[in-house]
Structure 1
């Protein structure tokens, strides 16, 4: 009995081996034969004209009649390589871009790894409908945070060049766009003039085409110093006949100024006022405000803003 089982198992293994071998040979023979097969090749478009909106109804594939062995056809069916269409090389009509395939056979052969002596694309040309986009200039706003080194600052804000860029796109979206920011950047311990390039933030604006994707930024940075001046407090809008006493009579104004212009600043350039009409009922103080100051200074502050007062009878 044991000998019979051994014989049967051995025969089954032998039979399975030859069956598998025959199957492999059959597959190799079949795949070595030449076949003609129609295959859909996906299309990918690049370099669309900035002033045109490509229609969603554009062709998404071309039909490739492939005459080759089974291995090549199987490769195309599994990996399905696509064809990239460069729209900058298409001919423009009134409402369409026409990409004539016979004018680009070498490029197509390289992309698809085919030989047009054995294969051909059924379509003669790819026709892509389009609509003209609306264009306008959009203001670019700097999204740049500058932290200056101690003793340094700038008289003027950061400037961009160009400060506006041309944008094109569907009319509804274009009409809703007023400004566009740059990408966010942060500059620390700045102690010299700024100059660089920053990209425009086009996130969530994929329907729009930007003729410039970046702008230059610059700013003059100077050595600054802090100055101060003692300024008398001027109370305005005191009712006629009201005897008002207040303290302090003067306050100190602190400010930051370009070192080159430090000598231009004097106490007479400032005016500090309190408005009697702004006093709330029950208050015994007024709030001092800087009413006048030189335009070229910054970081202006007072040592005291509360001005105490009493009404004498």
Structure 2
């Protein structure tokens, strides 16, 4: 009984020992074979994907992907590493040459960039694909003025004697000719500047919602607004009569009006009574109207607001 158990144990141990040895030598031989095979030099054709980006705004492009075929001479290790890395080329369409109907990707002008992505030497590579043509449809382009939608309210005592400035004052758009012909201007998004008491500057986006089917070369503009301290001035200005009846002498009362105006402190001393003209025109007289209405006909450009202290002038005709 004891003898049979010893024999059975010896047979089992022997079998396990043989299997382990066989497996070890098999793996070792496989590794040697792989090393030999990977050390050999192979020539293989590979396809490298390319992605085209930055489509020109004045063109419609439907093809944004392509493939470059390359013949590579390399050892097995290099080819295996190339397959694992699976490199991808990114190319900007803005940088490529343009013909009448195609944007052309030329491999000979892009070889350095491609090889740097592949990480292989130039003398080991032959480019099968010489060029890739990317068809496009040319859009119409047009330059249109920008209208800023900027609401400004000033703090008490402040105003501006200059227009709000925008830069640029027009932008370029592209799209179908029929649509472009219908667009006369483009607006900005609305912003509000409240209680302004100092110079303002910033950026505001173009309102692209109304014309979503066109391409905008610029999505925002810069604005600048100069704010100044303002004050109120008053001047007595004589009234000038226009179109009086030729067969009568006209007497008016009063002969002068007070012009109340708003001007910046910087320009206050520059304003004089000679800068204003107040008139009463008999051609504006309605039937049975026994008074004239004074109007400010001229004022200096640096004055932002004006009003008169009266709105009626009495007159008498003497024949």
Instruction: Give the TM-score normalised by structure 2.
Output: 0.61
Contact 1:269–1:292 at 8 Å: present in 2 too?
Answer: yes
Whole-angstrom distance in 1 between the partners of 2:259 and 2:91: 64
May I ask how many residue pairs the two structures share in their alignment?
222
> What's the CA shift for 1:288?
0.8
1:291 matched to 2:297? The reply is: yes
Whole-angstrom distance in 1 between the partners of 2:99 and 2:301: 58
Whole-angstrom distance in 1 between the partners of 2:194 and 2:204: 16
> What's the CA shift for 1:141?
1.3
Q: Which structure 1 segments of 5+ residues have no match?
A: 1-44, 60-85, 100-125
Write out per-residue CA displacement over residues 182-213 of structure 1, whole angstroms, 9 at most, x where no aligned residue. 11111100000010000011112112111110
Whole-angstrom distance in 2 between the partners of 1:158 and 1:292: 23
> What's the CA shift for 1:310?
2.9
Whole-angstrom distance in 2 between the partners of 1:136 and 1:130: 19
> What's the CA shift for 1:130?
3.4
Contact 1:87–1:97 at 8 Å: present in 2 too?
Answer: no
Write out per-residue CA displacement over residues 155-205 of structure 1, whole angstroms, 9 at most, x where no aligned residue. 111111111111111111122222111111111000000100000111121
1:183 matched to 2:163? The reply is: no
Write out per-residue CA displacement over residues 206-239 of structure 1, whole angstroms, 9 at most, x where no aligned residue. 1211111001000211111110111111111112
Residue in 2 that maps onto 1:209: 215
* Greater than 4 Å deviation, 4+ residue runs: 86-94, 96-99, 126-129
1:132 to 134, 138, 142: 138
Instruction: Give the TM-score normalised by structure 1.
Output: 0.62
Structure whose CA Rg is larger: 2
Q: Which structure 2 segments of 5+ residues have no match?
A: 1-51, 64-89, 106-131
Write out per-residue CA displacement over residues 116-170 of structure 1, whole angstroms, 9 at most, x where no aligned residue. xxxxxxxxxx997531011122111111111011111111111111111111111
1:219 matched to 2:228? The reply is: no
CA RMSD in angstroms comes to 3.2
Contact 1:134–1:171 at 8 Å: present in 2 too?
Answer: yes
After superposition, residues 250-265 of structure 1 pair within 5 angstroms as 250-265=256-271
1:266 matched to 2:272? The reply is: yes
